[in-house]
Structure 1
Amino acid sequence: MSSDHWCYHSPQKMLHYSITSEYYRTKLLASPDDIHDFMKLSRAMALKRSTFIMSVNLFYRMLITRPDLKSDTLKCSVILLSCKIMENFRGISFITEAAKNYLKSVPGRKEIIHTELIISETLNFDYKYIDYYSYCESKVLSITRDKSLLICTFSFLTDCSFLPLLAFFKRRNVALACIFLALKVLKPGAFKSKKNVETDCSNQEIAAVITTGMKISIDSNDRDSTPAVQNLAIESQKRRKLFYRKLKKTYGNNEKSARKYFPYLKVEQEFLRDLESAFEGLKYSAIEIHFICNELLDLYIEML
């Protein structure tokens, strides 16, 4: 069995394989000293693994697209940008302090910030202002910023694990990540670089991805949600607590027996009715949405 095939079926091995392959691809474009310094700087800053993967990706891409940038400045800038994207909370002072011990020349703060902006513009990143999605009555999916981080992040799915995407969205926005991931897989044409993109996604598919996202990660404090979605989340949380209470009463602490009854493995009729109320005008078949949700959950589990 080939190593690629083996990695595909093992998420942990796939993650390790992604880092290794990215590392060696970068090594072909950079001097051994450069890549060695970059890895030492990353370790010194105690980056989370997801942030490290993101920084290696950015470093690799910038070596190809902007070979004119100063090497030491680029190392600091991609790490700074990666920390912001992944919410790793490592500021510029932290980076310059670590750079004193691990880089030949310590870039100035202005140089690092300027290069960070160049990286953002080159890769079409706009991490501060992202309008996630809107669903209109005319059934048009609008990606309101054609240079959003979201579109670029999806390009990482081909050459690194799904982890950076999940880490970026954190818990409160995993729902949105699932929605866009599902739409990306179901209807790739929805993610062309246009301001308003018409998609032939059926009502059932759109309802399914929203339902799937909500069920995987429901947060009533999500400021990005509309009041209808927030109310839906609160009601669903109450229902979920009641559901688990009944499970515990029936099965005790036998988690294995109870697991197959977890609410996110099926689509409750009450949840579908709430969803229809929250998104007025969305008509669908409960049976169709049930099967689509199951397919999306299988896909989601495979990609974790």
Structure 2
Amino acid sequence: MTVVVVTDSSARLPAAIREHYDIRQVPLHVLTGDADLAEGIDEIGADVLDRPTTTTSGATPADLSAVFETAVADSDGDGVVAVSMSRKLSGTWSSARLAAEAFPGRVRVVDTRSVGLAVGFAAVAAAQAARAGGEMDRVYEAAIRAASTSETLVCVADLGRLRASGRIGAATRLFGTALSIKPVLRVVDGSLVLAERQRTFSKALTSMVSTAVASADRQPTTVGIVHADAADTARDVLERLTEKLRVVTSAVVTDLGPVLTAHTGRGAVGVVVCPGLEPIEGHTPS
């Protein structure tokens, strides 16, 4: 067999890609009232996210343990690499480490220090290495390499949700409220930080595209666009990127999902560039 790759639903990989690479997914959770809803499994309507008492939580140790058990068995001794979102943004990494203790030497957990499609691209890199016959250490290193070379940028229409969740620092809170400034946020070492300030959302998007292009540094690049109920804007951003980038090896456009949308609010659009990733198979951009 080969090493099996596991990730969480923050990775935002379309089902076709996960199925092609046999990437197992563990759900994050939306909590509202007495209900615990699993992302990607339970129906989570927009009305749920609008409730002021709605919160989110990471993948549970029980969910992770169940997926690890099956994945370890399916690997036939080759092991499992679990690719997780940043430990600074979620408790999922800690839960994965805890669950992995039941499988000594057979599960390695990656902290991508990122979120969204940067996590997904790291999982794909790991799965590609596994398909090439890589042992567990090589697969782990492939995920780390893809995560470390990815750049994640996000434009949000309103910082209220991120302020409430504590996912941005005090300085960013001040910049986000002053004169209705629209920020471009960047993931740095696992945390969301302020990259730039713009007067309008349109200018913020333009700045985000320029920063992403500069980050790619004229290398062949995999591009990811994530959005929260902003499909038209996401397609426009992808068009702008593909016009400016030297070579786009693959392009993935997907929604942020209910858990991340609960923090960014509707209208958010993000860009991930990952230079050096092999072309992603099993997916046709919409």
Pick the structure with more strand per residue: 2
Greater Rg by CA: 1
TM over 0.5: no
Pick the structure with more helix per residue: 1
Query: Larger RCO: Structure 1 or Structure 2 (Cα < 8 Å, ≥ 6 residues apart)?
Result: 2
With normalisation by structure 2, the TM-score equals 0.29
